[in-house]
Amino acid sequence: MTEADSEIIKSEMLKAYVWLQTSDDSIQQVEQEVAMFCPFICQEIHSGMGSSKNYPISLPSRVNPPMLSLILDYCRFHQVPGRSNKERKSFDEKFVRMDTKRLCELTSAADSLQLKPLVDLTSRALARVIEGKTPEEIREIFHLPDDLTEEEKLEPIKNTMDDPRIRLLNRLYARKRKELKERERLQDAEIEEERSDERSVDDLLSFINGSGEDSKGTRNSKNKKKNRKRKDQHKTAPSNCISTSNGSSSRNADMDNKESYEHNSLSGNSTVHRNLLTNLRYTTKLQGVENDRFSPEDEFDDCDLEDDIDPALKEKIDREVEDFARRLNSDWPERMQEILSLGQERRPLQSTINGNGSLRKLTSLDQRQK
């Protein structure tokens, strides 16, 4: 009898089984060495359970029979010591090819059994599902309710540097000004009731520009922000146009000048100053709205001249500007009023009437903490 033969016989003799009970009360018999791969089951065995059919190990409720069989497949493969890393990796890759719903269930089940390698594997797979997708796509995949208000959707952090969006924002603002002017002239214009744009001052203050491939509204509103900064900067820094980063408006033209200047000179000295300015910029962003220093037509022309976006993108941007402008139309004058009167303070609850006639309440910052 060779060494190999006697080993096989030994393992056969020692093969023990444990009994596992799933959430639906069905009981399964599983080889002990496979089941022991799960720490939870290991613990239960050591405390005496699972050795017979009458005393099965009751698995946590998140483990239903299909998940259990998947988990056992995983354990059965990986508990064999002789496999190479390559083999294991390739098994893992094939193993996680399943629909997202099952992935989520599997993650949950593996977590309740404390099977960390499988949790890592499935969460990596879920991360890959999420990565690079737009919020709508993600919501669809995971059936998430789209229950954030417009204001809440303004993401707190974004990368600032999207030049095309700066220009987009410029245009938006320019057009908006035009319309505003016109509307003021026709003072008896009826307020269109479209979707209200409930945006608290704080949120607007706190988000970073640049927009993602997210909802149009988000994108456009961000562009609006960018627009403001770019426009002001453009006027005050004649020599350097594409000052890309956070050159934005501030209260005085002087500060603006100084800021743009310093910003454009790659400084080591003015970093403190620059940091201060960064903070200031964001707080005074909206103040800039009221600065009616520029005539829309100028802005428009200037913008176009400096554009070097390719025509296709331009068209797309134009279309989106239209959309956004439409959306803004409804209560722009009202909002302007509020912004002007409230300044940087927290906005109290505000109710507006949207197109459907139902009352929608703006949430204050407090309510948003969920």
Partner 1 sequence: MEDDSELDLISELPQSIIEAILAKLPLRDAVRTSILSTRWRYKWASLTHIMFDDRSASHFNDRIVVQDGIVNFITRFLFLHDGPIHKFSLSSSFLQSSPDIDQWLLFLSRKDVKELILELGEGEWFRAPSCVFSCKKLTRLELVRCELDPPPNFKGFLCLKHLSLQQVLIPPDDIEYLISNCPLLESLTLSYFDSLELTVCAPNLKYLILEGEFKDLCLENTPLLVAISVAMYMTDDIAEHFEHSSSCNFDKFLGGVPKLERLIGHIYFTKYLSIGNNQKRSPITYHHLRFIELYQVSFDDMKEVLVVLQLIVNSPNLQELQISGSSNTSATVGAPDLEFWDENFSIDCTLHRLKKVKLTDVSGVEHEMKFIQFLLENSPVLEVMSITPSLYLTDGRLNMLIDLASFRRASSRAKIIFIQEPV
Interface residue list for partner 1 (CB under 8 A) = 99-101, 104, 107-108, 111, 119-120, 123-124, 126-127, 130-132, 135, 138-139, 141-148, 152-163, 206, 208, 210, 212, 214-215, 218, 242, 244-246, 266, 268, 271, 275, 278, 368-370
What is the token pair recorded at 359?
């009352």
Whether residue 304 contacts residue 168, with contact meaning beta carbons closer than 8 Å, is answered with: no
Least separation in angstroms between residue 7's CB and partner 1 is 18
Residue 99: CB atoms within 10 Å: 9
Our CB check for partner 1 shows the closer of 30 and 119 to be 119
Our CB check for partner 1 shows the closer of 93 and 297 to be 93
Q: Which of 97, 151, 186 is nearest to 346 (CA)?
A: 151
Q: Which of 326, 320, 336 is nearest to 168 (CA)?
A: 320
Least separation in angstroms between residue 284's CB and partner 1 is 17
- In whole angstroms, what is the distance from residue 129 CA to residue 96 CA? 11
Least separation in angstroms between residue 69's CB and partner 1 is 17
Least separation in angstroms between residue 185's CB and partner 1 is 37
Helix axes 100-112, 65-78, angle to 10 degrees: 70
Least separation in angstroms between residue 352's CB and partner 1 is 20
Using the CB atoms, write b or e for 276-296: b if 16+ within 10 Å. Answer: ebeeebbebbbbbbebeebeb
Residue 177: CB atoms within 10 Å: 19
Whether residue 198 contacts residue 152, with contact meaning beta carbons closer than 8 Å, is answered with: no
Q: What are the residues whose beta carbons fall under 8 Å from the beta carbon of 260, sequence distance 6 or more?
A: 233, 236, 237, 240, 243, 247
Least separation in angstroms between residue 123's CB and partner 1 is 4
Our CB check for partner 1 shows the closer of 176 and 219 to be 219
Q: Which DSSP letter does residue 30 get?
A: E
User: What is the helix, strand, coil percentage profile of the chain, to 5?
Assistant: 60, 5, 40
Least separation in angstroms between residue 101's CB and partner 1 is 6
Least separation in angstroms between residue 276's CB and partner 1 is 13
Our CB check for partner 1 shows the closer of 94 and 143 to be 143
Q: Which helix (H) or strand (E) is 28 found in, with range? A: strand 27-31
- In whole angstroms, what is the distance from residue 125 CA to residue 127 CA? 5
